[in-house]
Amino acid sequence: MSDFAEIIVASLLGAIIGLERELSGKPAGLRTHMFVAAGSALLVVLTPSTLDQLGKSVSGELTPDPIRVIQAIIVGISFLGAGTIVHNRGEEVEGLTTAASIYLTTGIGIAVAVGRVWLAIQVTVLAIIFLTVLSRVEYRWIDKISPSDTDSKAPQQSADDSNNQSS
């Protein structure tokens, strides 16, 4: 598969996850996930040719270290993921699943770039199962009401009611 084809495949797999996030009304959706997957694949694909180019202009021997490239991608994506996490009133936190989906999309892009396309496809399917099926399970069978929700839904007592109860 050509380098460009790998980037296209990575972006399409990212689009699948991004579409689910978009349809769920999350801040990082279709385009974000496409860019994350494509960018991750691009950086991995560029590493050997970049080292060849730099090796010609720098005295001494440069040795490729793909693990460092992957580490750099993960660090950069971590900042993007952190930007999707929002702390609301009290202890409520939103965006963790979207941040995790961005992180996973990075791995999918990297997997495509290193020739593990089938693994990337399988992980994309697994991610969609996590995001759709498990989401329904959580809301149907696991009580998702936060303490702040129960407080706001509790009947309000007036000052007169509380004075009458204490007498």
- For 104-141, what is each residue's pLDDT tens digit? 999 999 999 999 999 999 999 999 999 999 888 877 77
- With both helix axes pointing from N to C terminus, report the angle between 117-141 and 96-113 in degrees, rounded to the nearest 10: 160
% of residues, the chain, pLDDT over 90: 51
Q: Which residue has the tokens 């998702």?
A: 144
Instruction: Note the pLDDT of residue 94.
Output: 86
Q: Please give the span between the terminal C-alpha atoms of the chain, in angstroms, as a whole number.
A: 81
Residue 26 lies in a domain: yes
Instruction: Note the pLDDT of residue 13.
Output: 98
- Number of Cβ within 10 Å of residue 109's Cβ equals 33
Higher local confidence (pLDDT), 93 or 23 = 23
Residue 91 lies in a domain: yes
Residue 39 lies in a domain: yes
Q: Is the pLDDT of residue 8 over 90?
A: yes
Instruction: Note the pLDDT of residue 64.
Output: 67
- Please name which of 88, 98, 105 lies closest in space to residue 39, comparing C-alpha atoms: 105
pLDDT band at 56 (very low <50, low <70, confident <90, very high): low
Q: Is the pLDDT of residue 162 over 60?
A: no
Residue 12 lies in a domain: yes
Q: Report CA-CA distances (Å) from 77 to 35, 73, 80.
A: 11, 6, 5
Residue 138 lies in a domain: yes
Report the predicted TM-score, pTM, of the whole model to 2 decimal places: 0.77
Q: How many domains does the chain have?
A: 1
- Number of Cβ within 10 Å of residue 163's Cβ equals 10
Residue 159 lies in a domain: no
Dihedral pair phi/psi, residue 148, rounded to 5°:
-70, -30
| Rounded-to-integer distance, Cα 104 and Cα 135, Å | 17
Q: Can you name the residues that pair with 86 across neighbouring β-strands?
A: 94
Structure tokens that stand for 73 in this block: 């991608």
State the average pLDDT over residues 152-160.
44
Find the domain containing 65 and state its range.
3-145
Residue 160 lies in a domain: no
Residue 55 lies in a domain: yes
Distant-in-sequence, close-in-space partners of 7: CB < 8 Å, separation ≥ 6:
38, 41, 42, 45, 112, 113
